[in-house]
Structure 1
Amino acid sequence: MSLALLGIASVIIFPAWVWMKIKQITSSSEEGTQEKYPESLSVLFEEFELTSKPKALYQAFFLLRRLILVTILIFLRHQVFFQCLIISHLSILNLVYLTYFRPFESHSQNRIEIFNEFTVFLSSMTINSFLNGGVELTFREFTGWMLIGISCLNIIVNLLLLGGQTLSDLVGHLHSKWTGHQESMRIQEVFSNWKVFKLKFPQVSKDDFREIKGEFRMREFCREWSSQ
C-alpha cells in the first residue's frame, strides 16, 4: 500500500517539478529568445524550442496527459464511453497544441508528432463506433479493420522515417569518413616532397616545413593556411 501511494505521489510530483523547473528557466528570458537550460536538465529540453513557455512546457503537458489517462482508466474503468470521450478530447487538444505551437526544434519531428497524434485521434474515434449499440455488425467489422489499418499505417510510416533517418546518418558518416580520407591523402601528397610543398606554399621555409612535418601538424597547418 505504501509503495502504491509513493508511486501515485511521484507521478503527481514529477510533472509539477518539471513545470516549476521550466517556469524557472523561461521566466528570465524574453519572448522569442532561446534560453539555455542547465546541463543536468538537458534531457527535458534538448529537442524542444525554448523561445516561449508553451513550447518549453511540452514535457509537462505530456506527463499531465499521461496522468489524466491513468486516472480515468483506474477510476472510470466501468465507464467506457467517458474513457473514450476524454481520450478523444485530449487527443484533439494535443493535436491543436502541436499544430499551433510546433514545440520541437526539428520541423520533421513536429510533422511526425502531428501525424502520430492524428492517427491516435482517428483510432479513438473508430473505437467510439463500437460503443453504439445501434451500429450494424458489418459496420463494426469494417471499423475494426479500419482500426487495424490505422495502426499499421502509423507503424509503417514511423519505421520508414526511422529507417530513412538511419540511412541518412549512415551516408553522412561514410561521406565524412571518405572526405577525411581524401583530405589525408592530399595532405600526404603535399608533404611528401619539399618541391611539391614549395609550389603549394612558397612563403614557408624549408626549416618550417621540416618542423611541421616532424610534429605531425600537417592537417592543422593546411586548415590554418586555407582559412587565411
Structure 2
Amino acid sequence: MTAEERRKNKELKKKLLSEVAKRNPDLLKSDLDKFISTNIALWSALVAEASVKKVGKIISQIAFSTSEAQRRAFINAKVTKGLVNKAFTVPTVKKRYITQKALDVLPDIIRDNVNLITKINVEDVDRISQVIFKGLQEGRNYNELLDELKATQGFTDRRAYTVAQDQTNKINQFIQRQNALAIGCTKAVWIHVAGKYTSRVSHIHMNGKTFEIEKGCYDDFEKRYVQPGELINCKCIMQVIFDEDQIND
C-alpha cells in the first residue's frame, strides 16, 4: 500500500467512525467504556513514570531551599557555628547544604507525593472519557487517541505542581524538624498560622505551646499528636527552642 493509499484509508476510517458516533453514540460509548477499563492501568503507569522525576525535582528544590534558609536562621540566632557545620554536611546546589537526616527522608516524601498524583479517581476517568468520546465523534481513531494520552505530559506536570504546592508547608516543616534534630534540638513552640478561609480551633488553642519535636503537639480535636503542617491545608509552623549550650555568648 502506498503512502497515498494509506492516507485515504485513514481518512475513510475517520469518516466511518464519525458516522457511527453520530448515528449511534450509545453503542460507541459502550465500546469506549470497555476501552477505558482496559487501558486505565496503562495510563496510571504512564502517569507514575512521568511523575517520579517531576515530583523529585520539585520536592528536592523545596527541601534544599528550606534547609539553606534554616541553616542561615540558625547562624543568625547565634547557634554555635560548630554545631551547624557539623550537622549541615551534605552539599546540594550553589554551595548550599542540607543535613544527612533531612536528606534521608526525601525518598519517602517523594514516594508519598507520587502516590497522591498517580491515584486516577472517578473524576479523572470521567474527564478522560469525555475527551476521548469527543475525539471519536470528530473522527479520530483509538490508536491516535491513545498515542495522545501517552504523550500528554502537561497533565502530569500540572498535577505534580499542584500537589507539591499543597504539600509545601508539610514538606518544609518535615525537613525543618529533621534539621533541628540533627543539631541536637528536641523541643519547639507551636505557631498557629491562620488558613485562607478558616482555622482549626484546636490549632488556635495550640498556639504558643511547647512540644517535643519527635512527638508533636497533642490535638484535642484529632485526639492524637500531630506536627505543624501535617494535616490537610494546615499552615502552622514551629519555632525551635535552643539550649543554652547551643548558643554563642
TM-score range, shorter chain: under 0.3
Give the TM-score taking structure 2 as reference length: 0.22
More relative contact order, 1 or 2 (CA 8 Å, 6+ apart): 2
Q: Identify, as 1 or 2, the structure richer in helix.
A: 1
